[in-house]
Amino acid sequence: MAKRVGVDKWLFGVVLLLVLFGLVQVFSASAVVAQANLGSPYSYVLRQAIWAFFGLLVMVGLMRVDYRVYNNPRVVFPAVTITMLLLVGVFAMSGMNGAHRWIRIAGTTLEPSELAKPVLVLFLAYFLQTRIHQMDDLKGTILRAVAVPLLFTALILLEPDLGTAVVCVAVTALMLYLAGLRVRYFAVAAMFAAPVLYYMLFHVAFRRARMLAFINPEADPRGTGFHILQSLIAVGTGGVFGRGLMEGVQKLFYLPEVQTDFIFANICEELGLLGAILVLGLFVALGYRGLRAAFLSTDPFARFLAFGLTTAILIQAFFNMSVVLALLPTKGIPLPFISSGGTSIFITLACMGVLLNVTREIE
């Protein structure tokens, strides 16, 4: 295929719209809480804007770097090693709400699990590109391919962060399926994973409480069911057209974490069904352009890289929206590009830079 003159302008435009929309929503969701807790209504949105600005700079820089430079063991394995050290390093930090997910350096908070997702994609793209015809080799291909994802997942589970771990497992499974792994191997993996998942959901106290609240949130409306009920109230009261931007009520100390994990609920309340469809449409457009780049690429490494980066964002968005709509149990997973969170938006934009460079090779 002929080489493109530039990157995919549709994908670039969708990313910019998501970032700008996210900044508006972070301000809308956080202004009152920020004023009360931090003394300024702009505290959260300014921090998010700074991370977004540097993220966009990195995105523009990376979309000019030939993606083939990452197809090198001198890039892949140091990236895996550094990510692993960071995932281990979180346990040396003081915990927050019983979790060890962040590394604090010079007043900046970093979340290594956000880095783990693109590095996992990079490793699998590098490893699988030459093994498409060897996917029945259990020792030489399958076990070696899942070694790094399983190690990352185990460390993330210990933080504990089941949501991000599930995203990592899902992305790994989809990339292996794209490489041609037979369904029977997934069935065997599911048999081994099911007891572990059951134990984590029903024999770990706080997760068991969340599962029971998911099944019947009205049983404890002021306790474990509070998040779900307040989220559904926000979604329901938005109607078709919403209350209006900045006019939401649930963000006024009713719905916790409204600027992060539950920002989609605030969008539904203020912008209604139309706002929710807008957000969904932007992610569908991003997914279409990203997967189009993956399937039109003639380079196996580029195909795996584009596919993995795109599906990681789509899966995370699906989980976040599903939690807000009470389709899945409550779990702290940010909405890509939109939720408040510096590490998340910075790394996501960096990933988009790599993906945009891949689109240069597509007609």
d(CA 129, CA 288) in angstroms, rounded, equals 22
Q: Specify the pLDDT at position 102.
A: 85
Mean local confidence (pLDDT), 3-15: 86
Choice between 221 and 276, residue whose per-residue pLDDT is larger? 276
pLDDT tier at 146, thresholds 50, 70, 90? very high
Q: Say if residues 142 and 149 touch (Cβ distance below 8 Å).
A: no
Give the model confidence (pLDDT) of 295-310 as tens digits: 999 999 999 999 999 9
Which runs of consecutive H residues, i.e. helices, occur in 216-341?
Answer: 226-238, 263-296, 300-324
Dist CA 226 CA 232 (whole Å)? 10
pLDDT band per the 50, 70, 90 thresholds, residue 2: very low
pLDDT of res. 109: 81
Residue 145 — pLDDT band, cuts 50, 70, 90?
very high
Query: Which of 238, 297, 244, 241 is closest to 269 using CA atoms?
Result: 238
Torsion (CA) 335, 337, 341, 342 in degrees, nearest 10: 160
* pLDDT given at position 142: 95
pLDDT band at 119 (very low <50, low <70, confident <90, very high): very high
Percentage of the chain exceeding pLDDT 70: 97
Average pLDDT, the chain: 93
Q: Each residue of 165-200: pLDDT tens digit?
A: 999 999 999 999 999 999 999 999 999 999 999 998
pLDDT score recorded for residue 97? 66
What is the residue type of 46?
A: L
| Helix (H) or strand (E) segment spanning residue 108 | strand 108-110
Closest CA to 339 of 51, 8, 116: 51
Q: Find the farthest-apart pair of alpha carbons in the chain and give their distance in angstroms, rounded.
A: 61
Q: Assign 270 a pLDDT band (cuts: 50, 70, 90).
A: very high
Per-residue confidence band for 157, with pLDDT thresholds at 50, 70 and 90: very high
pLDDT at residue 221, rounded to an integer? 87
Distance CA 338, CA 332 (A): 14
Query: Does residue 123 carry a pLDDT above 70?
Result: yes
pLDDT score, position 110: 86
- Residue 312 and residue 117 in contact, taking contact as beta carbons nearer than 8 Å: yes
